Amino acid sequence: MKRRTFLNTLGAASATSVLVGAEAPKALRTLDTDVLIIGGGTAGTIAAVQAGRLGARTILVESGSQLGGTTTTAGVDFPGLFHAWGKQVIAGIGWELVTAAVKLNDDDLPDFTKPTGTQHWRHQVKISGQLYAALAEEACVKAGVQLRYYEFPETVAPTASGWRVRLVGKGTSVQVTAKQLVDCTGNAAVVGLIGLPRLREKVAQPGTLIYRLGGWDAATVDMNALQAQANAAIKSGALLSTDIRGNIAGFLRNGGENAMHVPGADSSTSEAHTATNILGRQSVLRVLRFLKQEPAFALVKVERLQAETGVRETFRTVGEATVSVDDYQTGRIFPDAVAHSFYPIDLHVDGSIVPKHLKEGVVPTIPLGALIPKSSRNLMVAGRCLSSDRLANSALRVQASCMAMGQAAGVTAALAARAGTTPLRMPLVNIRRELALHGAIVPKTD
Ligand SMILES: Cc1cc2nc3c(=O)[nH]c(=O)nc-3n(C[C@H](O)[C@H](O)[C@H](O)COP(=O)(O)OP(=O)(O)OC[C@H]3O[C@@H](n4cnc5c(N)ncnc54)[C@H](O)[C@@H]3O)c2cc1C
């Protein structure tokens, strides 16, 4: 390059660009809040809106790019169950946002008056996940919640009156002092950072990458022949049995949606979650390539493919109370019940799922104690990592229940911050009153 041209180029660069060299270290930015919620998923979003609506200064930290977690990013956009035996048992902020998404998209609610028998999923509400995420975000902003995407806690330390939490993210590192901390990470990640006990199974339930295929005419497919081809592909290693859960006709019935398993799925560390996402996407590619070579599927295409493999099970916490499968199946009314839950026992193991339905009339409850890690102060959990045994957890983990837990945690944390006390010391009567005032259905305990 000629010297003149080079200088001209430099001149052009200096007019539009700023050269940034090594920056002097800045003082660590500090934030102060009443309630700090980690994890803006199914439960955490509701907890944040609730705490904000109660006037608590609330920060919601989400490591991803949007709210809703498994409901939105993992595409489990069919939350349930809000109704049991012909009446609504869970309402409040979760229900408000779910029905707002249905209304804005001109979608339909199921007919909740029609009994479902063993087809409980008929009462789940089909929503647009991404629309739900936008509405949830709007509700947070309106409630005055400070949203912090792409961040996660690096260290968590107790102080005399709460917590000091170091958050890191893309180009950010801040220190937050908070009166109350709520772990809604689905993995009890904060509880783990603090060093309190967590439980996990040696072999967790499989995950599922939600995707849907289209572009074939089922009437032209010889399913027996296709199953034989699939069996051969599984034998040769071109397909894994879990890609189609062994049954190609069953897999194709709903375009493959929610019909595959990712064994060993784990979202509790970035490394494990990365591997889980890769395994999920590899499965999609295997199935697509297998189908493409079949004449009836020459035009097969991907209609939907989520950004993240949904993970069903990682850590559970050990709380002041623990919900057992017996409590769940007998519909025990806990003395400190703050919400209902309703779902069959639903453990996904060994490639099979055998839902065990509740007896007619049974509506289980969720005790506040299951949301408070044992011997902790100023700390709560909400969502699938509540304190419960494995079988009870397989039902408690569903979305309407997680939303109800989120609201209960949001109320309790906000009231405890205001009163300068710890969640376990908050009078139940106050928690229940605020929950009811904010539209939640509170179980009768007398
Ligand atoms: C494939 C599949 C099918 C399912 N089917 C149904 C169904 O039919 N009906 C039903 O109701 N439920 C169903 N469930 C269960 C239900 O969707 C989940 O159990 C529930 O959504 C979990 O909610 P959560 O709030 O505990 O966690 P999540 O919704 O997963 O939220 C956790 C959030 O925390 C964030 N996070 C995690 N770690 C950190 C960190 N360190 N820092 C900051 N943020 C963090 C995550 O990014 C995420 O947004 C299904 C689940 C799966 C995976």
Q: 344-382: per-residue pLDDT in tens? A: 998 887 656 668 999 999 999 999 999 999 999 999 999
First to last CA, the chain: 87
d(CA 340, CA 337): 8
Average pLDDT over residues 110-128: 94
For a pocket test of ligand 1, which of 399, 401, 407 has the largest count of ligand atoms closer than 8 A to its C-beta? 399
Other Cβ atoms less than 10 A from the Cβ of 172: the count is: 11
Q: What pLDDT does residue 214 have?
A: 97
For a pocket test of ligand 1, which of 36, 37, 38, 42 has the largest count of ligand atoms closer than 8 A to its C-beta? 42
For a pocket test of ligand 1, which of 46, 366, 398, 407 has the largest count of ligand atoms closer than 8 A to its C-beta? 398
Q: Is the pLDDT of residue 12 over 90?
A: no
Q: Are residues 409 and 360 in the same domain?
A: yes
Encoding tokens for residue 323?
Answer: 């919900």
Q: How many CA atoms does the CB half-sphere of 17 hold within 13 Å?
A: 9
Q: What pLDDT does residue 350 have?
A: 66
312 CB under 6 A from ligand 1?
A: yes
- Interhelix angle for 223-236 vs 270-292, to 10°? 130
pLDDT band (50, 70, 90) for residue 2: low
Q: Are residues 189 and 285 in the same domain?
A: no
Q: By C-alpha distance, which of 146, 164, 145 is closest to 155?
A: 164
The model's pLDDT over 381-436, given as tens digits with 9 standing for 90+, comes to 999 999 999 999 999 999 999 999 999 999 999 999 999 999 999 999 999 999 99
Q: Are residues 141 and 273 in the same domain?
A: no
Q: How many CA atoms does the CB half-sphere of 388 hold within 13 Å?
A: 31
d(CA 94, CA 139): 11
Q: How many domains does the chain have?
A: 2
| Domain coverage including residue 320 | 29-201+313-437
CA distances (Å), origin 112, targets 81, 86, 396: 10, 6, 20
To the nearest whole number, what is the mean pLDDT of the chain?
A: 94
Q: Is the pLDDT of residue 5 over 60?
A: no
pTM for the structure as a whole: 0.95
Q: What pLDDT does residue 4 have?
A: 53
Is residue 118 in a domain?
A: yes
Q: By C-alpha distance, which of 162, 39, 53, 80 is closest to 407?
A: 53
Q: Is the pLDDT of residue 15 over 60?
A: no
Furthest-apart CA atoms within the chain: distance in Å? 89
Average pLDDT over residues 96-103: 98
Q: Is the pLDDT of residue 279 over 70?
A: yes
Q: Is the pLDDT of residue 335 over 70?
A: yes
Q: What pLDDT does residue 6 have?
A: 47
Is residue 147 in a domain?
A: yes
Q: Are residues 167 and 234 in the same domain?
A: no
402 CB under 6 A from ligand 1?
A: yes
Q: What pLDDT does residue 1 have?
A: 47
Average pLDDT over residues 73-86: 97
The model's pLDDT over 153-211, given as tens digits with 9 standing for 90+, comes to 999 999 999 999 999 999 999 999 999 999 999 999 999 999 999 999 999 999 999 99
CB 267 within 8 A of CB 200: no
Q: What pLDDT does residue 348 have?
A: 84
Q: By C-alpha distance, which of 391, 310, 328 is closest to 365?
A: 328
Q: Are residues 142 and 217 in the same domain?
A: no
Q: Are residues 63 and 160 in the same domain?
A: yes
Is residue 126 in a domain?
A: yes
* E strand intervals along 383-434: none
Q: How many CA atoms does the CB half-sphere of 315 hold within 13 Å?
A: 24
d(CA 131, CA 69): 13
Tell me phi and psi for residue 313, to 5 degrees.
-150, 125
Is residue 349 in a domain?
A: yes
Of 252, 282, 305, which residue sits at a domain end?
Answer: 305
Q: What atom of ligand 1 comes closest to residue 124's alpha carbon?
A: 9
Q: Are residues 291 and 318 in the same domain?
A: no
Q: Are residues 90 and 56 in the same domain?
A: yes
Q: Are residues 232 and 264 in the same domain?
A: yes
Q: What atom of ligand 1 comes closest to residue 190's alpha carbon?
A: 41
64 CB under 6 A from ligand 1?
A: yes
229 CB under 6 A from ligand 1?
A: no
213 CB under 6 A from ligand 1?
A: no
Q: Is the pLDDT of residue 10 over 70?
A: no
The model's pLDDT over 430-445, given as tens digits with 9 standing for 90+, comes to 999 999 999 999 999 9
Average pLDDT over residues 116-143: 96
Q: Are residues 122 and 34 in the same domain?
A: yes
Q: Are residues 61 and 134 in the same domain?
A: yes
75 CB under 6 A from ligand 1?
A: no
76 CB under 6 A from ligand 1?
A: yes
